[in-house]
């Protein structure tokens, strides 16, 4: 019985300890989002929720919060704002505007739907706030990534292929329409 309790406690401590935080620059964040067609945001949201899960010992399911980002994005923006400013606000207008900006760019009709690739622009304030707060928190170990990691390079490579295919299909459609 005691061994099981020790294992459970050990697993809980290992799971809830804040891991090393690898920080990337804003330039890398923008490049990764453009090349991944916005899919890098999913990984960033997951990492942000995992950070708060570990730091605050929250009882949340981060995969579900990431998957249902539409519902949990405003609380994430608010949590980042509160962590960065050491406040405990229940409502923040800037976080709401960022949230609405993401939602609006994602529901645009067909000709304008390509704009949704640039919805990461609304994440930039939260990205900056979270990185700044992590750097200034004495309890958090941060590592600045000066170069792209192997995973980042794979995302850029695959994204480049997709961008070439998208541009080719757009040009093909234009050429077919003019014929």
pLDDT digits (tens, 9 = 90+) for 45-87: 999 999 999 999 989 999 999 988 889 999 999 999 999 998 7
Cα–Cα distances in angstroms (integers) from residue 166 to residues 21, 72, 161, in the given order? 34, 30, 9
d(CA 95, CA 78): 6
Contact 63, 46 (CB under 8 A): yes
pLDDT band at 17 (very low <50, low <70, confident <90, very high): confident
pTM for this model (two decimals): 0.83
Q: What is the pLDDT of residue 12?
A: 44
Q: Which two tokens stand for residue 78?
A: 């608010």
Query: Beta partners for 143?
Result: 22
Report which DSSP code applies to 18.
Answer: P
**Residue holding tokens 């700044």?**
132
Q: What is the pLDDT of residue 47?
A: 96
Please state the rounded mean pLDDT for residues 114-141: 92
Cα angle 42, 120, 31; round to 5: 90
Q: Is the pLDDT of residue 10 over 50?
A: no
Q: Is the pLDDT of residue 89 over 80?
A: no
d(CA 80, CA 74): 10
**Residue holding tokens 């690739």?**
117
Q: What is the pLDDT of residue 91?
A: 76
Contact 23, 135 (CB under 8 A): yes
């Amino acid at each position: 019985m005691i061994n099981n309790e020790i294992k459970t406690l050990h697993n809980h401590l290992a799971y809830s300890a804040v891991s090393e935080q690898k920080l990337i620059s804003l330039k890398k964040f923008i490049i990764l989002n453009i090349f991944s067609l916005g899919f890098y945001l999913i990984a960033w949201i997951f990492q942000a929720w995992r950070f708060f899960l570990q730091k605050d010992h929250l009882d949340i399911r981060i995969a579900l919060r990431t998957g249902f980002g539409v519902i949990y994005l405003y609380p994430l923006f608010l949590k980042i704002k509160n962590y960065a400013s050491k406040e405990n606000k229940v409502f923040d207008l800037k976080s709401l505007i960022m949230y609405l900006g993401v939602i609006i760019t994602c529901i645009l009709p067909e000709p304008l739907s390509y704009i949704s690739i640039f919805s990461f622009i609304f994440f930039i304030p939260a990205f900056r706030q979270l990185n700044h707060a992590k750097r200034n928190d004495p309890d958090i170990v941060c590592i600045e990534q000066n170069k792209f990691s192997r995973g980042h390079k794979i995302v850029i490579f695959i994204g480049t292929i997709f961008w070439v295919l998208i541009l080719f299909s757009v040009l093909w459609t234009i050429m077919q329409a003019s014929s």
